[in-house]
Amino acid sequence: MLVTLALLASFTVATPPLTQQDEPTLVMKVDSSDHEIIVTAGSFDLPNMPPMEMHGMMDHGTSHDTPVQTFQWPVDGWFRGYKLEVIDKDGNLLPRRIMHHLIVVNYDRRQLLYQAAERLFGTGTESEDASVPATIGVPMRSGMTIGFYVAWHNDTGMDLEGVRLRMTMQYLPKNQNPRPLDVLPLYMDVNLTVGGTNTFDVPPGKSTKSYEFSVPVSGRIIGYGGHLHDYGTMVRLEDAANGKELAKVTATRDEKGGVLKVSRSLPGIKGAGIKLKANHPYRVIAYYDNPTGELIKNGAMGHIAGLFAPDDMAKWPAVDLSNPTFQRDMASLEMRGMDMGEGGHDHGAHEHSGSDHNE
């Protein structure tokens, strides 16, 4: 899987809105023999849009955004991976790149660092389908409310009608033997605002942006990936007390600096993983190298997202529906698919106190 919230964005053009054939529908079925939950959503009519000048540099206000659609998780067990397909009205596969990003939310569990609903997983144009070994999994119980939303970017040169998304979610049953190690998503972003945006400006040349945090429960990072926009080179996790590098995600880029993909790692599968201590300071840093000579407004994101095995699951912070920050996250999800103006879209982002440093 590596649970990577692959989010995305930043040039501005006028584009037609997403249209829907009546109301979009959602069909879910459980394949108990293959241990898969198959969710089909749609259909959607997607007007053609201009090609992106640089991969990932697209403002969310120019995308075809869908509202959050929800379903009840149907089985007890563990989530362990996903496969995504975009299909036309006749069932033929369409280029997956037109799905600019997808975010899946678990309303019944909180994130570790932020007063916001768990982002179970996310994926974007630079991400591939993923799964983890059957020795680990994200614990799920029947009846959990799961939501997801999609931002489309149809740059095929033609309008597309009757588009559907098919999301296959792999699970392990509750009688899995041996029992998998419980892991939960861990999201560490360099510039977070709950219910708002996590984009930031990219100055000319080399620059960094960072965020310092601590975790409320000790544990191990079992696997991780990340997300960068074009001109991004790396996201690094370090011990803020001594500067020691703990993890890093590197970008594979084209000759212009466009991000093609980002690295993934599973240090806890064949090794001990990366230990994080409760109430100890850590820092996540995004590195950019902008050769254009110009400031790129809201042109960057940077995060590491992974799977975290807490030493004591009982110490994981609980959902607090009365918390104003959590309420702001819920409100932002309700606004998905509406015209919220520049910078008003939820990127799965949360509270922040990031810092800039230009090299």
Same domain, 55 and 101: yes
> Can you give the CATH number for the domain in which 37 is found?
2.60.120
Residue 8 lies in a domain: no
Q: How far apart are CA 251 and CA 337, in angstroms?
A: 30
Same domain, 299 and 200: yes
Q: What is the model's pLDDT at position 51?
A: 76
Residue 284 lies in a domain: yes
Residue 339 lies in a domain: no
Q: What is the model's pLDDT at position 194?
A: 87
Task: Answer whether residue 20 shows pLDDT above 70.
Answer: no
For 71-88, write each residue's pLDDT tens digit: 999 999 999 999 999 999
Same domain, 260 and 187: yes
Q: Rounded to two decimals, what is the model's pTM?
A: 0.84
Residue 118 lies in a domain: yes
pLDDT (mean) for 199-203: 95
Confidence of residue 126 (pLDDT cuts 50, 70, 90): low
Domain end (from 126, 155, 173): 173
Tell me the residue type at 269: I
Which long-range contacts (C-beta less than 8 Å, at least 24 apart) are formed by 253-256? 256/54, 256/230
CB 6 within 8 A of CB 126: yes
Tell me the residue type at 311: D
Residue 291 lies in a domain: yes
Same domain, 47 and 157: yes
Kindly state the helix (H) or strand (E) to which residue 227 belongs, with its residue range.
strand 219-228
Same domain, 52 and 154: yes
Lowest mean pLDDT among 121-125, 236-240, 282-286: 121-125
Of the spans 18-32, 70-84, 343-357, which averages the highest pLDDT?
70-84
Task: Answer whether residue 61 shows pLDDT above 90.
Answer: no
Q: Which residues, in sequence order, are bridge partners of residue 326?
A: none
Same domain, 25 and 169: yes
For 207-266, write each residue's pLDDT tens digit: 999 999 999 999 999 999 999 999 999 999 999 999 999 999 999 999 999 998 899 999
Residue 327 lies in a domain: yes
Lowest mean pLDDT among 19-28, 195-204, 283-292: 19-28
CA distances from 344 to 183, 197, 352 (A): 31, 7, 16
Domain end (from 173, 199, 231): 173
Q: What is the model's pLDDT at position 63?
A: 60
Same domain, 166 and 219: no
The total number of structural domains in the chain stands at 2
Q: What is the model's pLDDT at position 243?
A: 97
Q: Which domain holds residue 33?
A: 19-173
Same domain, 90 and 212: no
Mean pLDDT rounded to a whole number for the chain? 86
> Can you give the CATH number for the domain in which 194 is found?
2.60.120.230
Same domain, 303 and 201: yes
Q: What is the model's pLDDT at position 338?
A: 66
Same domain, 136 and 165: yes
pLDDT (mean) for 189-202: 90
Residue 340 lies in a domain: no
Same domain, 218 and 163: no
Task: Answer whether residue 3 shows pLDDT above 50.
Answer: no
Residue 92 lies in a domain: yes
Same domain, 188 and 112: no
Q: What is the model's pLDDT at position 322?
A: 97
Q: What is the model's pLDDT at position 128?
A: 80
Q: How far apart are CA 227 and CA 234, in angstroms?
A: 9
Domain end (from 125, 143, 173): 173
pLDDT (mean) for 187-198: 89
